[in-house]
Each structure stands twice: as C-alpha cells, then as structure tokens.
Structure 1
C-alpha cells in the first residue's frame, strides 16, 4: 500500500481583498499541515475571488494575483498545495488556472478547458478556454513555469486537474488524465449554490473516481462572496467510486479542512485492470518534480451526510441555511451595522425576520457567540452581548407602519414575531402621511381621488409612503434595508417600486410565494435542524396573504388580485424558464392541473401572466441585488434577461386565444370557476 493523507479546503473569500484572501489561504495551509496532510486542494480563483467580473480585464488584478501567489509559496513547506488564480499569457489572453506548489516550489499551471457561460456564469467574457494537448510557458519573477494541459508527476504520484466546469461536460478532461495514468484528480471549483445541486456534484465526483480509476478531490468556495451568488462550501473526496470524506456545508468559518487517507496502489490496480490505459501518451505534457511523500496511517472512511441532510425537508433546510449565511456575509462584508425591516405581519416580511434570527442562531452553532462577535467586531457595542437574542435585538430593527386599511391581525402578527425573536420593534401610523400626499394631488387635479377611479394609485401611495421612514431609520443605524418582494411578485409586477421593493438587498426575490408560505409553516412547526423553530410565526401562518392596501371591507387578497399561486408558478416555469409559447403553456396546464381549475381560469391566467410579464421588465431591472437559489431565478443581471421594450407577446396571445376558443368545449370544466 502507498497511503497518502489528502485534504479539500474551502475558503470564504472576497473579490480583490488581497490580504483577506491570502490570510485565509495561508491559514488553511497551516491547518492542513498541522493535521499532517500531504496534498491540499483549494477552490477555483481563491486568490482573487471568483466574482471579480470585469476587473478580470485589469492588468493590476493580474499583477496582484501573482504577487499573492508568490507570498503564499513560502508557506508550502513539506506539503503539496493547489491554489487558483487568473493568468495572462504572452498572447494577451487571460486564463482561469490552477497552480500546483510542492514544498515551496511552483511546479506549473493547469488552464481550465471548458468555461461556464450559462445563467449566473459569464466566464467567456473574461477568460479563454485552453485547448487540450497544448503546453506553453509563463515567466513570473525570475523563473519560467509550464502552463497548459499538464499532468504532474510528483515523485511518482501523478496529479491532474479538472477545474469546475471541466467536470460537468460529457467529454471531461479526466478521460485524458486517465489515459495518461493519473493517480489523483483535483477539482478546484466555484460552483454556485442551487437547491439539491450538492447531490449532482457528489455523483460526478464518485463517477469520475470510479471511471478514471483515481482518487478525486473536489472543493468549492464558501459563503456569499460578491453579493448574489452563494457558495455552500461543498467538498468531497472519493477513491475508486467510494466516497471517503465530505464537508459540512454553509459554515460560518473563514476556512474548513476535510481530510482522508487514500491508497494510491489501490487506484492503480483499477487502471492496471483497464484495457484502455495508454499511459505513455503526451509525454510533453508531463511535469516531473521531487517531493518526499510521508507515509500515512490508514483511516476508515467516515463520509456521511450531515444530520439535517438526511431528513425529508432538504429544500427547506438549504433555503434557510443558504439565505442566512448570505445575509451574514453581506452584512459583514459591507461593514453594515444591522438590518432594518418594514415588518407588515405578512408572509414576506415575516420570512425575512425569521431568516435574520436564524442567521444569528446558525452562526452561534457554527462558530460560537465569540466567533460571531469577532466577525462583527466593527459594530459598536457588539462585545457586550452574551446571547443570540441580545444580538438579534441589536442587529434587527423592525417597524410596523399601519394605515386605516391595516388590520389588527397583521399588527399582532408583526408584534408577536418580533417579540418572539427579540428584535427591536417600532409601531408608527402613516395614515396622516398618506392623506397629506393624497390631498396635495387632489388640490392640483381639482377632484377627489376615489377607489372607483384611482384604485392602483391609492394602493401604491401607501406602500411608497412606508419607504422614506424605513430608509431614514436605516441611515440612522448605518444598516441594510431589507426589500420584501418575492419572485412571484417580480414575475407579474405585483410590487410597488420604491415601496416593498425599496431596499439595499432583496433576499427573497429568488423564491416564489407559494413555497415561502410552505417554508414559514415548516420553520414554525419543525424548524431548522429539527430544533431551531420560529414559534412566533404562528400568527402569520394563520393569515391569508394580503397587501392590505384597499379598504378592509373589500377583503383584498394576493391570489384574488393575481391568480392562484400554484398556477402562477407553473406558468412562470413553463413560459419563462422553459421558454414555451402561451399556447404551449396552456396545453401543459391542462395536463398538470387535470380539472382542478376551470379551463377558462387557466386560459385567463396564462393571458394575464404574459401581459403582466412583458410590461414589467423595468421593475425587475430595478430590484435590489438578490440571492440566486435555483434555475427559475428572474434576476436580469445574472440569469433571466428580457427586453424592457418588447412586443408584449401580441401575436402569441392571439394564437393562444384562437387555440382556446377552438378547443373551448373539449377540456374539462374543472372544479373551480374564475
């Protein structure tokens, strides 16, 4: 047996924060060395941060990255380490690379071959893909190093790379590395979080280790790095198709190290038994270097899911943990002093209050109260607190802003939730402000505004009047204002610009209202990890969602204003995510709902959705930054681009009408009329 102790490291980085990023990397290396690790892999672009965007064009960024690399090298004594950074070669092209360092010596750079360029990723804007089978050189300081599609032979242990997207495509580089006799494949990644994505990563790690007869190390970035994308800190190690180690996800630590012991001879046996392994191929791509591999002691693999990943509520857990960690990182990386929330007592604002509370409790579980206070040490007075509840009172300020159209139910919902999590709670009445604005316009128009003629204007002014006081309080506290609009509202424009969309960040703009209501019930009754319950949500969970912008006797509800949430979600999924025409969407709804709603209701809902969608892109363009959660995201900056000025689907909606009228008697009548 040839036993090696290997490790995957995850780090929580910030774009272009050179000292911070370098310190995290060095600390991760030192921790790995303290655990007698021989080989450590760190995530993609960990030196610069992944989310540098157009600053990747900057010559200064490239120079700073190289200097950081040279500062890291002296800390790699007696260990082999992979770190990642962008390189600009003599052809004036920039490449996403992984650098292998052994015992204070740079061995070379492997370039990413396949660039992620869908949805949230835009890598082809900044980087050039490397062509397989090519090798070049680069001079850094006084020395010249090999660059390209390399395999490193480090005292007989052959190490290759698949960099993030390389492993997601069918013809992945691991096939070539297998043909060249690789023993270990490293995968430094910057793979954004989305629901259930960890399961996909685990599969390709296991499949790669089995198919290529190697030990495979995968490591991802951690935290909310640059504002929108969330990285869950996923790390896996597998050998010959067996998972040997995995990391905890959504940690609040700056770095984590996950270790395992592998048997190189065991994976070589798999390759010996393979009949298709011409290991002598591409000798010019092999880089040889000496290293004294210390013999490790065999350790039984202990890879298993975390306790919260084993239950039946993985999406609920991932939503809570991903958004909570993102809020924490956004808070500390923007050096803000807390959050301000206009707490209406409804589902959206209540969810945000619960998530801030969970942020604090999960941080306490992850790094302790001391670690939490250390990370927020810039906030005055934070060191005086000893409990999560005290910290919540300092970090979360809520304000109920009622009008004559607000009900006792929503006030009690807001107050009981704020008290249950010990958030600061204010209650102000804005009816006088609404009346002042209304009278100013009535005087200019020379007539009274009424609900019969000016319904939308009278609703919107109430929502907008809430924003200035919320912003004032936010500025006074040097805090972040949380916008409360969700994805269902964004899809159809059911949101007041400069009202419920006002905010520094929009944490729930990536999640639909139907799911959010389900999550709130789960958070109250079952809770994160089965023990972090937000019992103060009981009141909001008993209420029907309403904007409370019309007089109470009109019994306004969100679904009556729009359409049933399950129908809205289905239309959004088929029409926007899957890019189907309105007619095709209606055909899909007929099958999905199978008589639950009348065909007329489905037709009118499709027609209304596409009309509202096409005229409200300008609203989606103005939303505060939101967190990416799944492939149904509507954020126009990172996922779903749509023209502000467009046809309004005029031709497509005529075809929809013709199809509906031509088939009016053929569908089920359904149980519920419009």
Structure 2
C-alpha cells in the first residue's frame, strides 16, 4: 500500500534551554532514494515545492490532497501531475479525499501514480468505496535515466580534450587555460556571479579560484591516446603542455581496442586489411585509419562520462573538438566529429604558426608552447608509413592553400571555373595554368565528395564569415557531382588555350 506523506513546517522556535531548532521543508532520505512531500494546494502554485526538491535529488513526491470536485478539474490534476514529472523526472503519488464533508463540496477521489510524464495507475472517480488502494511497480533507475537525458539538469563539470601533441588540440587546451586565467582575474576583482558559476561547476560551495593552473586541473582533463603509429615526440609535447597549464592528464594506448575490432572483421570475412606501406590498397588503408579515429572517439566519450566518477567526483565532462576549418572545408575530417563543442570555431592551423615579439614561440598567459607545437604542422598519426606525414602532405595541399580555397568558396561563393580564373592571377608568379587547374580540381573533388560531413559538424563559436557552419552560413546544396563535368571541361579548355598562346609567344621569340 502506498501511503502519501505530508511533512511540512515553517519558522523556528526557542525551547526552554534557549537552543534554536530550525524548521522548514523536510524530505526523507533512505538508502535507496529520497522522498519529498507537498500538500494539496502546492501542486497548483506557480513555484511548486516539487520543483526545488527534484533539483535537489528527491525522486519520489507525495501529495495528500483534499481537492474538491469541479467540472473538468480532474483533467487539470492529471495534467499538473504529468507535467511535474515530465519536466523534472520522478515518481508522483497523489492521494485525494472521497465523499462529502457535510457542506457543499464533494471530493471525487481519482488518486494517481505517475512517473516521468506517464500515468501508471489512476483511481476511479466518484467511487462509493470507503478506501481505494492503487499500486504500481516502478524502477527508480528509470527516473535516473530520464533525468540524465534532460540537458538543463546536467551542468557539465568541465571538459575532456584528446591532446595529440599537434597545433589544433594544443590551441584548444590553451583556450581553456586562458578561460581559467580570466575567471581567476574576475574573481580577484570581486565578480560574485563568476564565483557562483565556478562553485556550481566544481560542486564546492566554499571554493574560491586563485591559481589558473589549479582551476584548470579541476575542470580540464586531457588525454594522449597513443597507437603504434604515434611518436614519442608528440607524446612529450602533449605532456609538456598539460604540465604547464595544470590539466589532469591521462596517457593510454588504443592498440588493443583497434586490434580487437580488426580481429572481428578478419574472423568474419577471412580477410586481413593492411596499410598501403604494407601492400594494402587505398581502401584498406583508409578503413584502418578510420578505425583508429573511431576508437579514439569512443574512448573520449567513455572517459568524459566516467573520469570524474573514477576519481570520486560528481558530474561529467564535455568533449572538446579541435579540428580546424580548412580541414573541414576540404573534407579532411571524420563525419559525426567526435566532440560536443568546438571552441576554436573558424581557427586555422597556419594562423597559429606565428612568433612572439622576441622571435620565439608565443605565450598564452605565461604558457610557452612546447618545442615544435606551434611551429610544426599537424602530424597525421593514422598511417604506418615512415617518415610520418604532416597532415597537409597526406591531403595533397598545404594549409595555406586550403585557407585560400576555403575563403574563395565560402565567402566569395566561387565555383571551380571562377576560382581557377581568380587563382590564375593570384598565383601567376608561382604556378603555371596547368598547376592551378590541377590544384583547383583536387580541392573541388575532395570538397564535393566530403561536403555532406559539413551538415553534421560539432557546434562551433562563430568568429568570422569563414565558418564551417553550413546550416546557417552556407545554404547551397551539399550533394554535388564530384566530377564537375561542365566546370572541369571549361577549366581544361582555358588551360589549353593559355598553353597554346604561351607556345606561340615562345615561337615568336625564336
């Protein structure tokens, strides 16, 4: 039998020995759950007690109601109870009086048991029975699972960043550290709002951040996920940067998971794919690269959800992404990118390859970039092919070229032929018409083959018009003929015409 409780009291009193005893809203805490109570009218008030109780962890709400009958009021009670558990999650037990109290009011019963917005048991209305008992078997884990899916209830306790030792992830890590520095400065200057937000995130009401490195260690977890294709150099870079910014750093190896997945394929098909360096085809090599990337994604989300739990702390982490806009525009990124947030926005790798006023690597709030981090290109660690290839070599174009292609395509809205004509002039001193044509064709082939990935990109901060966010800033189709037959024919015709003219000019010189 489910017996609703009504526990309430307000104010305080002073007893005979002058000791103050506080009174107020109370809940019952058990080994399994937490039970709270509100009285009849409180269900109808604009700020019902079940709202705050639910946010504080109460999972079962009881209401010993005395709600008299009014036409269509039973529907309103059902709506209020279901809405209470829809937006807050939890189990709601509503009892109600039955019969007449000797005056003009009649109490129509109609008790309810609801969970997560659904009614699981409902008593009859206007029943002549003196007592009516409702029962339902409910699983508290359903309440916890339901609440876990409500994003507004789950404030992230920090960030998880796969730190590769390359420029993109290093820049993202520095952005988080820079944020920590700004937070400490704001608190130092008396910002109570910032202090309250930090205390909520770290789940410590008495915490006051003073050292950016210490705060970074609380909210940022970095992870170097090595494989057999990784280098000690990048491992050292990642560790050096993590040590400087103070992040909680993890080192692990993904090879066992990669081999297990490939082993399943081999067991089922009897075929063993190989990298191109070991005699495999391009399809095999690409598939093996993608397995590594996807394993890293799964591991990132696993650690983001359970890393704090393993350390005895509440909450979970948001996975940060660190791909750059040039790679995304060309399609050199994975579909359904493995991140919840992309703080770099339209950041580009070559824009970070800069020197400070002293001719050395730039500092971010006193953090010196590890040797080679900002002055070296990103390194592609999915290929078994020594020496390891920088990203831009594997792509077939440089980051500087990608930036030009991307801006002409995204901002100037150029197609293959108009871009070819533009670059003929821009690169006339460094490239022949044939070289320009080949570069433009390569870019548009990759762009059109992979453009569908742009529709699934992780949300990013919008900092300029050169943005990868196609859903808002580039509404052109995302399905193209990857051969671009008409445009490429026009380019080829123009190249042949220019080459003939060049030969004629040379013949005239002779």
Which TM-score band applies after superposition, normalised by the shorter structure?
0.5 to 0.7
Deviation at 1:363, TM superposition (A): 2.6
Q: Distance in 2 between matches of 1:426 and 1:460?
A: 22
Match of 2:499 in 1: 664
Q: Is 1:577 matched with 2:411?
A: yes
1:381 to 183, 188, 204: 204
Give matches, 1:263-282, under 5 Å: none
Q: 1:519 to 1:359 in 2, by over 3 A?
A: farther
Match of 2:458 in 1: 624
Q: Distance in 2 between matches of 1:608 and 1:475?
A: 40
Deviation at 1:390, TM superposition (A): 0.7
Q: Is 1:517 matched with 2:373?
A: no
Q: Is 1:544 matched with 2:377?
A: yes
Match of 1:418 in 2: 242
Match of 2:169 in 1: 349
Q: Is 1:409 matched with 2:239?
A: no
Q: Is 1:589 matched with 2:385?
A: no
Deviation at 1:460, TM superposition (A): 1.1
Deviation at 1:370, TM superposition (A): 6.0
Q: Distance in 2 between matches of 1:612 and 1:622?
A: 17
Match of 2:476 in 1: 642
Give matches, 1:255-334, under 5 Å: none
1:494 to 312, 325, 332: 332
Moved more, 592-601 or 659-668: 659-668
Q: Distance in 1 between matches of 2:335 and 2:415?
A: 28
Q: Distance in 2 between matches of 1:377 and 1:600?
A: 61
Q: How many residues align?
A: 334
Deviation at 1:422, TM superposition (A): 0.6
Q: 1:583 to 1:422 in 2, by over 3 A?
A: same
Moved more, 348-357 or 537-546: 537-546
1:360 to 180, 192, 196: 180
Moved more, 613-622 or 405-414: 613-622
Q: Distance in 2 between matches of 1:362 and 1:557?
A: 34
Q: 1:446 to 1:422 in 2, by over 3 A?
A: same
Match of 2:343 in 1: 507
SS of 1:638's partner is helix
Q: Distance in 1 between matches of 2:216 and 2:455?
A: 32
Q: 1:346 to 1:602 in 2, by over 3 A?
A: same
CA RMSD of aligned residues (A): 2.9
Tell me which structure has the larger Cα radius of gyration: 2
Q: 1:638 to 1:450 in 2, by over 3 A?
A: same
Q: Distance in 1 between matches of 2:225 and 2:471?
A: 32
TM-score of the two chains, using structure 1 as the length reference: 0.46
SS of 1:400's partner is strand
1:460 to 287, 290, 294: 290
SS of 1:625's partner is coil
- What are the Cα deviations for residues 85-130 of structure 1, in whole angstroms up to 9, with x where unaligned? xxxxxxxxxxxxxxxxxxxxxxxxxxxxxxxxxxxxxxxxxxxxxx
Task: Judge conservation of contact 1:343–1:414 (CA < 8 Å) in 2.
Answer: yes
Task: Judge conservation of contact 2:355–2:362 (CA < 8 Å) in 1.
Answer: no
Deviation at 1:522, TM superposition (A): 10
- What are the Cα deviations for residues 572-605 of structure 1, in whole angstroms up to 9, with x where unaligned? 2223321223122122222223323454433222
Q: Distance in 2 between matches of 1:521 and 1:481?
A: 34
Q: 1:336 to 1:444 in 2, by over 3 A?
A: same
Task: Judge conservation of contact 2:226–2:254 (CA < 8 Å) in 1.
Answer: yes
Q: Distance in 1 between matches of 2:445 and 2:190?
A: 52
Match of 1:287 in 2: none
Q: Is 1:655 matched with 2:487?
A: no
Q: Distance in 2 between matches of 1:361 and 1:333?
A: 27
- Counting strand residues as a fraction of each chain, which structure ranks higher? 1
Deviation at 1:364, TM superposition (A): 2.5
- What are the Cα deviations for residues 261-296 of structure 1, in whole angstroms up to 9, with x where unaligned? xxxxxxxxxxxxxxxxxxxxxxxxxxxxxxxxxxxx
Q: 1:526 to 1:564 in 2, by over 3 A?
A: closer
Deviation at 1:369, TM superposition (A): 7.6
- What are the Cα deviations for residues 416-451 of structure 1, in whole angstroms up to 9, with x where unaligned? 000011111000000111111111112222211011
Q: Distance in 2 between matches of 1:417 and 1:332?
A: 33
- What are the Cα deviations for residues 328-374 of structure 1, in whole angstroms up to 9, with x where unaligned? xxx99973110100000011111100000011112333443864432
Q: 1:521 to 1:634 in 2, by over 3 A?
A: farther
Q: Which runs of 5 or more structure 1 residues have no equivalent in the other structure?
A: 1-330, 669-674
Q: Is 1:483 matched with 2:321?
A: yes
Q: Distance in 2 between matches of 1:666 and 1:355?
A: 52
